[in-house]
Structure 1
Amino acid sequence: MGSPSETGSDGSRGCVLLTGANGFTGQHVRAELIGAGYSVCSAVVGAARGPHEATLDITSRDNCRRVLERLRPDYLIHLAAISFVQHADADAFYRVNVIGTMNLLEAVADARLEPRRIVIASSANVYGNATGGVIDESFPPQPVNHYAVSKLAMEHMVKTFSDRFPIVLTRPFNYTGRGQQPHFLVPKIVSHFLQRAPVIELGNLDVERDFSDVRMVAHVYRRLLECDSAGETVNICSGRPYSLRTILDMMAAIAGYEIEVRVNPAFVRRTEVKTLVGSTVKLRALAGPLQPIGLHDTLQWMTRA
């Protein structure tokens, strides 16, 4: 199908099949791709609502094959996953994250496609309870929950296709922004301040996470389609950790009031990853200079939603 820089017959930069398109990340990735001149077919669960959407059940290999044979995309960005760490159905992590990804890649092979690039989202959670500073891609995985184990298993499965397809695996660290569900940490904090709630219940306030803005993450996914990234595994991160206490202080300054914080033992997970901060060295080497968005700016953007 040619190089990633070629222009398609419709005048676009090529067609991208985007799984998980209606999810938090997918909506921002779709906007980034369209803004950069790509045509996007959004793969969704449930009924398609227009000519640029397709119903896709990644747990069905037959369904994946039919969709891929019909659409024949130039690129694929695979975001669809069970991504909430505390999801109640442990089996679903493996059905969707591992088997679903395998079904999708098998369908690409069955349809005899020659994609210019396939970008697949794993997770920095595979690093587990990492200690000792900034984590680069050579750090040995130590998953501590079903979500992370399923993502690491998925990575190993994907590598069995690496001799057939130009695949790049991403390990996003935490990121946030408009549209993220309120059961995730930062949207929960933002919504409590917007409602001027007097109290918020949280877990360990000293947990530190490397937070990026979803708009930067979307930009990275687009850049990974365009650069020489095939065969790579790369962190998507800011390189800077923030504790929950810091986030609370930022929101207090934005909202203009202090909220009472109560630590709920039920929210303190036994296998809690204490600190996760990623190295951006490989990401910048592959994708080029990035324009990071500070967490304070992200929080302000979310409060204006």
Structure 2
Amino acid sequence: MSLLPRRALITGIRGFTGRYMAAELRTHGYEVFGLGSQPSDEPGYHQVDLLDPDAVKQAVQLIRPDVVLHLAALAFVGHGNPNGFYQVHLIGTRNLLEALAASVSNLDCVLLASSANVYGNGVGGMLSEATTPLPANDYAVSKLAMEYLAALWMERLPLVIARPFNYSGVGQAENFLLPKIVSHFRRRATRIELGNLDVWRDFSDVRAVVQAYRSLIEVKPLGQTVNVCSGRTHSLGEIIDICQAVTGHSMEVAVNPAFVRANEVKTLCGDATRLRSLIGSWETPSLEGTLRWMLAAGE
């Protein structure tokens, strides 16, 4: 007698990470359902505004998931309306947790995607989960507030909090750093305008990130916060150099003061010790490998 596939609910399923998450789970035998704010005729998809608690509760009662991956977010730090971060990350998350606690008794794990931005720019070196958060912008404050909110539900729900550092891949919007640079190289532009050039980031590949998320919901380290990161940093200059070497194209790199954020986090490097202790051997492709994949997309 075969067991029914586990039912997975992904919020933000039509977003950049959500699409890869859905593919990862389906590959591993999950029946995937999704919530999103825009209309779609994709199977298992429900158009739901997370700010509408009744609609969220109805969808959760209908789907009755075994696992939940809460990826819905305003992901761009420079988003023009700071209030939107708090509405989506705080109120939307509370509505989801309330609905899950009230409606689903068979939950195995709920993964909440926070952000390494909560660490801010006050501490250098390798940032572990024990690093004191010092959020430096509204996006990061709203994500940290979501983590504190989640603590109120730890006794009622099987929660895990993931703090991903920067990651990228094919399909990410061009207002993010790597896709913007890749787009300029793919169309062989003569000039690119960027913000702060003196930034170092810990980059992972979205395909590895969703593998880590799936592993976490299967290991179920309930109540824990887990960095998802490579443990290596790369400068903006290195990214430009890799793209130039791969494409054979060079361009002028100019700093546009309008793109420079005063509260920019200069260096973010994560300590992935806890992640690997929980899920075993895990590696993200090299940054060059990710960039080659992105540069080749659509050729």
Is the TM-score greater than 0.5? yes
**How far apart, CA to CA, are the structure 1 residues paired with 2:183 and 2:76?**
18
Percent of aligned positions that are identical: 48
Q: Residues of 2 paired with 1:203 and 1:134: CA distance?
A: 24
Counterpart for residue 115 of structure 1: 107
Once the two structures are superposed, residues 8-39 of structure 1 have per-residue CA deviations (whole angstroms, 9 ceiling, x without a partner) of 42xx2x01000111100111111111111111
Residue 141 (structure 2) aligned to one of 145, 149, 153: 149
Establish whether residue 256 from structure 1 lines up as the match of residue 248 from structure 2: yes
Q: Which residue of 2 aligns with 1:3?
A: none
Shift of 1:113: 2.9
> Partner amino acid for 1:167?
L
User: Is 1:240 aligned to residue 232 of structure 2?
Assistant: yes
**Whole-Å Cα distance in 2 between the matches of residues 267 and 46 of structure 1?**
29
2:9 alignment counterpart: 17
1:277 aligns with 2:269: yes
Task: Note if 1:302 corresponds to 2:287.
Answer: no
| AA at the equivalent of 1:285 | S
* Correspondence list, 1:210-249, <5 A: 210-249=202-241
Are 2:29 and 1:31 aligned?
no
Q: Which amino acid in structure 2 is aligned with residue 209 of structure 1?
A: R
Mapping 1:94-243, distance limit 5 Å: 94-243=86-235
Contact between 1:130 and 1:276, CA under 8 Å: does it hold in 2?
Answer: no
Report whether the alignment pairs 1:59 with 2:40: no
Question: Which amino acid is 1:73 matched to?
Answer: P
What is the CA–CA distance in structure 1 between the aligned matches of 2:244 and 2:78, rounded to whole Å?
27
1:265 and 2:257 correspond: yes
The separation in 1 between residues aligned to 2:244 and 2:104, in whole angstroms, is 54
Question: Per-residue displacement from partner, 1:189-240 (whole Å, max 9, x unpaired)?
Answer: 0000011000000112120000000000010011011113111100010000
CA shift in 2, pair 1:8/1:93, >3 Å = farther
- C-alpha contact 1:136 1:278 (8 A) present in aligned 2: yes
AA in 2 matched with 1:192:
H
Once residues 97 and 244 of structure 2 are traced to their aligned partners in structure 1, the CA distance between those partners, rounded to angstroms, is 46
CA contact (8 A) 1:123 1:170 kept: yes
- C-alpha deviations, 1:158-197, integer Å up to 9, x for none? 1100001110001000000000001111000000001100
Q: Hey, what's the Cα distance between the residues in 2 that align with 1:111 and 1:231?
A: 20
TM-score (norm. length: structure 1) = 0.95
Give structure 1 regions of 4+ aligned residues with deviation exceeding 6 angstroms: none
SS at match of 2:253: strand
Gaps of 5+ in 2: none
Q: Is the 8 A contact 2:124 2:267 kept in 1?
A: no
Tell me the secondary structure at the aligned position of residue 181 of structure 2: helix
Return closer, same or farther for 1:92/1:211 CA change in 2, 3 Å cut-off.
same
**Alignment partner, residue 41 of structure 2:** 49
Correspondence list, 1:278-293, <5 A:
278-293=270-285
List alignment gaps of at least 5 residues for structure 1: 1-6
Count, aligned residues: 296
Deviation at 1:120, TM superposition (A): 0.5
Deviations for 1:122-160, whole angstroms, at most 9, x for unmatched residues?
000000004331000000000011000000000000110
SS in 2 for 1:17: strand
CA RMSD of aligned residues (A): 1.1
Q: Give distance in 2, aligned partners of 1:156 and 1:243.
A: 32
